[in-house]
A and B are shown apart, each in its own frame.
Chain A
Amino acid sequence: MARDEEQMIGFDPLAWMDESDQDKGKTPAMEQSAEDTGKSDVPSENEADKNKVNSEETEIDIKQPTISTQEYNDVVAGEGQVKLEAEMNIQKVAELHKTLIEVLEQNDLIEIDAQAVKTIDTATLQLLVVLKQEAVKLHKNVVISASERFVESANLLGIGQMLEVA
Chain B
Amino acid sequence: MSVNIIAVINQKGGVGKTTTSANLAHALALKGMKVTLIDFDPQGHLGVSFGEVKHNAGIGEVLLEKTTLESVTCKVRDNLQLIPAGSALKEIEQLTEGGAQRGDLLRKVLEVSLQDQDYVLIDCPPSSGLLAANALFATDELLIPMSGDFLSLQGLSHLMASVRKFEKVLNKKYTKWLVLSRFNTVRRLSKQVLNILLKHFPQQILATVIRENAMLAECPSFGKTILEYRPGSRSARDFRSLADDFLERKVMNGA
Residue of chain A at shortest CB distance from B200: A14
Q: Does B115 contact A (CB under 8 A)?
A: no
A71 touches B169 (CB 8 A): yes
Known: A18-B200, A57-B11, A64-B169. A51 touches B161 (CB 8 A): yes
Q: Does A58 contact B (CB under 8 A)?
A: yes
Chain A residues closer than 8 Å to B162, beta-carbon distance: 54, 57-58
Chain B binding site: helix, strand, loop or mixed by DSSP?
helix
Q: Does A25 contact B (CB under 8 A)?
A: no
A109 smallest CB distance to B (angstroms): 15
A57 touches B200 (CB 8 A): no
Chain A binding site: helix, strand, loop or mixed by DSSP?
loop
The range of chain B's interface size is: 35 or more
Chain A 58-100 interface 0/1 with B at a Cβ cutoff of 8 Å (1 = within): 1011111111000110011000000000000000000000000
Residue of chain B at shortest CB distance from A15: B200
Chain A residues closer than 8 Å to B188, beta-carbon distance: 5-6, 8
Q: Does B192 contact A (CB under 8 A)?
A: yes
Q: Does A106 contact B (CB under 8 A)?
A: yes
The CA of A5 and the CA of B104, in the complex, are separated in Å by: 48
B200 touches A67 (CB 8 A): no
Residues of A near any B CB (own CB < 8 A): 1, 5-9, 12-14, 16-18, 50-51, 53-54, 57-58, 60-67, 71-72, 75-76, 106
Residues of B near any A CB (own CB < 8 A): 11, 99-104, 127-130, 133, 137, 150, 153-154, 156-158, 160-162, 165, 168-171, 188-189, 192-193, 195-197, 199-200, 255
25 pairs of residues in contact across A and B, judged by CB atoms under 8 Å: A9-B196, A13-B153, A14-B197, A16-B157, A17-B160, A50-B157, A54-B128, A54-B158, A54-B161, A57-B127, A57-B129, A58-B133, A60-B129, A61-B102, A63-B102, A63-B103, A64-B137, A64-B170, A65-B104, A67-B169, A67-B170, A75-B165, A75-B169, A76-B169, A106-B165
